[in-house]
Amino acid sequence: MTLHKIYIVAFSVLSVVFHAQNKKEMSELIRNEFQFAEKQYNFLIHTVPQDKMPQSYKDGKLVTKDISWWCSGFYPGSLWMIYEQTKNPEIRKEAERTLKIIETNKTFTRDHDLGFMMFCSYGNAYRITKDPKYKDIILTSAKSLSTRFRPGMQAILSWDKMADFKGPVIIDNMMNLEMLVWASQNGGDKKLEEIAVAHANTTMKNHFRPDYSSYHVIDYDVNTGQVLAKKTFQGYSDSSAWARGQGWALYGYTMMYRFTKDKRYLVQAQNIAKFILNNPTLPKDKIPYWDFNDPEIPNVPRDASAAAIIASALLELGQYTSGDEKKSYVDSAKQMIISLSGERYQSKLGENGGFLLMHSTGGLPLNSEIDVPLIYADYYFLEALKRYKDWY
């Protein structure tokens, strides 16, 4: 054997060993994270009021919301994912209890958030248990969400008419399409998928800038579909790239490719990923600042929730790509997971109100939920852990 061939064989062996060691380390990290989540949520369970959902923790007090709040599905969804990994019966008992509390949301039609509310909760419950009653509730919820579709603008209306908006559609709405397409492909009306596709296409046409960053809010004429304004509600400015909004966009188009296999959605997701991962303001630990364009960076809050959403989305996007591109997505998601599970972003056991992550930012311009734990940060972090375990 020549020296060159010896080098090749040696390099191959080292690569295999390194990969095996890396896989073992991530397996241990993920196992430890779910064990930690089990303990933390056992603590959280005993502080949650019977008729409310946990949202955050501030000034030593648990912050809760009514079941009509857009985040009401994240707590039961998180519980189901923890139960799936730990098989703790107390976690499942709480998951089932909270599902009963939010069930009436299945006919909720006042805004677009029904996917967050009912698919993150009942979707996980049905995936794990295959209980047909959960499926029926998802199908009813999808039908309710479809009533907000406005044919004139070929999109789902996010909020009803407000003082500053006539027909607002926010990038967050891409996330609610998952319930529509899933329902359509699992016994629901085929029109549900048509609505989701129409909304995704309209959003792709109007929500994105040439660099594939997304506006937060597009205001439409509901009857004609004319774009009236491109603005923000939670970002730094109308022209800035609000970090969590970029995460919603990346996740949404990756998910739409999963269901439809329409290459346009894959390309859109790839371009959004490039914007995020190549952004000069993205820190080394890959946990973004709350807005990519805040001129006060680095002296502004981070958003752990955005990182969790982006990590989960990148892991799925890695399933549809290959080579260096796939490696970039998976490595970036891995770094986000490692960062979020480290001392800087993760709670200490029994602290932070029972939430898993610290340092999320809800609505900085609204002076709301700044540098606090948020229930959806936990949810998408748990989903990212599960996806890494299942796929890599």
CATH of the domain at 252: 1.50.10.10
Is 14 inside a domain boundary?
no
The number of beta carbons lying within 10 Å of the beta carbon of residue 307 is 33
Cis omega (within 30 of 0) for bond into 288? no
Is 321 inside a domain boundary?
yes
User: pLDDT, tens digit, for every residue of 263-280?
Assistant: 999 999 999 999 999 999
Is 359 inside a domain boundary?
yes
Is 26 inside a domain boundary?
no
**Which pLDDT belongs to residue 22?**
82
Is 22 inside a domain boundary?
no
Is 8 inside a domain boundary?
no
Which tokens is 339 given?
């960062």
**Beta carbons of 343 and 359 less than 8 angstroms apart:** no
Residue type (1 letter), 389: K
Rounded CA-CA distance 158/165 in Å is 11
Beta strands 227-231 and 217-220, pairing class: antiparallel
Rounded CA-CA distance 391/317 in Å is 11
**Which pLDDT belongs to residue 14?**
44
Rounded CA-CA distance 248/111 in Å is 17
Residue numbers annotated as active site: 113, 172
Nearest CA among 376, 269, 384 for reference residue 315: 384
Strand partners, 150: 155
Q: Domain containing 318: what range?
A: 36-391
Rounded CA-CA distance 13/384 in Å is 30
Which pTM does this prediction carry? 0.95
End-to-end CA distance of the chain: 34
Half-sphere exposure for 349 (CA within 13 Å, toward CB): 9
Nearest CA among 100, 125, 110 for reference residue 70: 110
Is 155 inside a domain boundary?
yes
Nearest CA among 379, 369, 239 for reference residue 295: 239
Is 4 inside a domain boundary?
no
**Beta carbons of 106 and 118 less than 8 angstroms apart:** yes
> Virtual CA dihedral for 251, 116, 82, 123, nearest 10 degrees?
-90
Which tokens is 189 given?
């009306």
Domain count, the chain: 1
pLDDT in tens, the chain (392 residues): 676 565 554 455 445 555 667 888 999 999 999 999 999 999 999 999 999 999 999 999 999 999 999 999 999 999 999 999 999 999 999 999 999 999 999 999 999 999 999 999 999 999 999 999 999 999 999 999 999 999 999 999 999 877 789 999 999 999 999 999 999 999 999 999 999 999 999 999 999 999 999 999 999 999 999 999 999 999 999 999 999 999 999 999 999 999 999 999 999 999 999 999 999 999 999 999 999 999 999 999 999 999 999 999 999 999 999 999 999 999 999 999 999 999 999 999 999 999 999 999 999 999 999 999 999 999 999 999 999 999 99
Q: Where are the alpha helices (DSSP H) in the chain?
A: 3-45, 74-86, 89-102, 114, 124-129, 132-146, 177-185, 191-206, 243-260, 263-277, 304-319, 323-340, 375-391
